[in-house]
Structure 1
């Protein structure tokens, strides 16, 4: 094998890298912007969920090392300490060894010392807290249950518990939010000192309260305003020492989220719980977004799979480029072609040339990456890629 090709292949994550995503579907209330599947936390449903998760964990591939775990929702932190321990112990019982990285999402209003003690004892390495804003009025406009004082109380508890990795989620382009408020949120989050920050532009998903407001003309989309929030946010975060490594994610050196990086690089992951998606053993599929349907299928020993897609080289090649270009490092086309030899990469050559001439793309040998201006248009670039080879 050509030495240069061999060197590039060394950049490819091991094909055995496996992630595990667990969806905890319970929320005390639904935020106006949220389109994720969720249920009110009734005790009977919680008990059934925990029992079904134990059954689903029992079906994990034996002997396969799970490198990363991510518990999302919903609100995983809404579970009581005893429920968190039950869920965690049943999962760990099926893993050959503890995961390298284990993230759990928590809302500030759900953070309690006893829950954090349980999570530390289980081996959770990373707490991701959905702050969204430090402004009481903006939080209320999003339908969030917590208030600014709860953020600080929760943060103090997380710090006291000694978790090695922490992330705070922030949201921007909220209706009536000013650039000054956005800067204040970033600076306040950085002052608290997490090693990772995620920033998300408010989106209008169908079947959400926010989408209803949009359809009624109570709020509007202003793309120029959104772009300004993106630009200024990236500028402030860089100055504060948070390096952007993906469109929405910023980290101190060595604190990037491994689970997400493996996902963006088209490695394998298994999703457990209602609505959880998987990419495993040559297929992509999703569990039913319904607690009763999901639990009934698991209890019957035949976990339901919906939207099943058989993966081939063309699909994985296109998706690896789309998600890879969201990362600042970009992608090495030679590496991807070696991973997915049946994919037709030549169909994209004219696109790369055009984007480079427009100042949106940088080509360095076989590696391509988007410029700052290109990253602002990454969704449009992704659409073009999928239209050509997806």
Structure 2
């Protein structure tokens, strides 16, 4: 049975939590699957990046305290310990207090005791480590340069440093990966007792090495296999005590990523760094995905120049349903009908009715959530809802 979360309904109708995302664009090498903006750093690049983040932060109107922080990349852990300390100092000065949750992404090969000590002292509460696989051949196929031994050393150091929450990222549906190998990866991850697991189905981002291989026919998509692996993942992690709270995310009690939850609920966040996205002060957009051009924009006092749009109530409602239905808790539609009354709700309600009729969703009162079958086609569900918000005929 579904129960509407009264407190969440109040939160979704505002005022909203404020998150801070910092994109650290530096990587020693580019993985075959990665579509995020990144560049190989030099000492001068890092120095100018830190100066740029501080300059950009000064351009933001900080209208309330920051509740969550997330550093992604790239590889934030590629920064030397003193540089991490400087970045943390810049962030803390703008947060209006210590954030309740502060996540930093780390690659196994970048984890050192010195870096961890700086992060722990700064107030970081959550470390997310990109493992991807425990199979050496698959790591090589992905272009990942770490080894299983490095994963274990890094994990032991992270645990010894005392971070309250640790996530491991895994990927499945990799070229050549068998169901047995994926089961083994889940088993290996669970045996290390993380607090959170993110399991991502491999996607082929345009202009990546894997995309080129796909376009050349050197690798192929297999939707039926992906479905089997999805279902296997959900069953295995449920048995291991991890609750699924979003299509790709699982946590032990109290360890769901609050920053991501607030983002999926269409709250507000400030993005700093090249390619970082923001949704704040009535505007959504991103920074240019180029380190030098980002500096040039900042020198002119400009930020959030790419894909800049006004965040209307209708746009927030649309994305709150599309992203919210990816979460197991679902969405209280009545909240968003109140927030955005000008939305074409009859068309949206028709799509929701068809989802329920086709066993892709279930509804109790005003709360709608996807079934397991619906979560397998969450992207298609999102497309149908997008059409409804644009008053196009639904085709579920």
Which TM-score bucket, shorter chain as reference?
A: over 0.9
Structure 2 residue aligned with 1:308: 308
Show the counterpart of 2:26.
26
Distance in structure 1 (CA, Å) of the matches to 2:331 and 2:97: 31
Correspondence for 1:151? 151
Match of 2:393 in 1: none
TM-superposed deviation, 1:7: 7.4
Asked if 1:12 corresponds to 2:12, the answer is: yes
The question of whether the paired residues in 2 share the 8 Å contact of 1:294 and 1:304 is answered with: no
Structure 1 residue 313 displacement after superposition: 2.2
> Aligned in 2, Cα 1:283/1:11: closer, same or farther, shift over 3 Å?
closer
Say if 1:63 and 1:95, in contact at 8 Å, map to a contact too: no
Contact 1:63–1:96 (CA<8 Å) still a contact in 2?
Answer: no
Q: Which residue of 2 aligns with 1:228?
A: 228
Taking structure 1 as reference, are residues 314 and 121 closer, same or farther at Cα in structure 2, changes over 3 Å only?
same
Structure 1 CA distance for aligned equivalents of residues 167 and 57 of structure 2 = 27
Rounded Cα–Cα distance in structure 2 between residues aligned with 1:258 and 1:304: 24
Per-residue deviation, residues 102-133 of structure 1 (Å, max 9, x unmatched): 00000000000000000000000000000000
Q: Deviations over 1:11-66 (max 9, x none)?
A: 63742310000000000000000010000011111111111111112233245200
Residue matched to 1:66: 66
Look up the match of 1:115: 115
Rounded to whole Å, the distance in 2 between the matches of 1:177 and 1:5 is 40
Q: Secondary structure at the match of 1:319?
A: helix
What secondary structure sits across from 1:363 in the alignment? strand
- Contact 1:5-1:335 within 8 A present in 2 as well: no
- C-alpha deviation, 1:282, in angstroms: 1.4
In 2: Cα distance, 1:304 partner to 1:187 partner = 42
The Cα shift of 1:301 comes to: 2.7
Q: Secondary structure at the match of 1:308?
A: strand
Superposed CA deviations along residues 167-193 of structure 1, whole A, max 9, x for unmatched, are 000000001111111111111111111
State the distance in 2 between where 1:33 and 1:359 align. Answer: 33
Question: Which stretches in structure 2 are left out of the alignment for 5+ residues?
Answer: 391-396
On the 8 A contact 1:298/1:304 being kept in 2, the answer is no
Q: After TM superposition, give the deviation of residue 317 of structure 1 in Å.
A: 1.1
Aligned match of 1:132: 132
The answer on 1:184 being equivalent to 2:180 is: no
8 Å Cα contact 1:270-1:280 kept in structure 2? yes
For the residue of structure 2 that corresponds to 1:10, the secondary structure is: helix
Residues 8/238 of structure 1: CA separation in 2 closer, same or farther (3 Å cut): closer
Greater alpha carbon shift after TM alignment, 146-155 vs 330-339: 330-339
Say whether residues 1:287 and 2:281 are aligned partners.
Answer: no
- Partner residue of 1:52? 52
Q: Which stretch has the larger CA shift, 150-159 or 47-56?
A: 47-56
Indicate the residue corresponding to 1:205 in structure 2: 205
Residues of 1 paired with 2:253 and 2:72: CA distance?
24
Q: Counterparts of 1:138 and 1:9 in 2: how far apart (Å)?
A: 43
Deviations 1:115-172 (CA, angstroms, capped at 9, x unpaired):
0000000000000000000010000000001011000000000011000011000000
* Maintained 8 Å contact 2:195/2:255: yes
Give 1:91 shift. 1.5
CA shift for structure 1 position 336? 1.2
- Equivalent position of 1:88 in the other structure: 88
Which residue matches 1:378? 378
1:334 aligns with 2:334: yes
TM-score, structure 1 normalization: 0.96
In 2, the alpha carbon distance for the partners of 1:145 and 1:14 equals 44
Residues 239-248 or 295-304, more deviating? 295-304
Q: Which runs of 5+ in 1 are unaligned?
A: none
The alpha-carbon deviation at position 222 of structure 1 amounts to: 0.7
Residues of 2 paired with 1:282 and 1:116: CA distance?
36
Residue in structure 2 matched with residue 98 of structure 1 by the alignment = 98
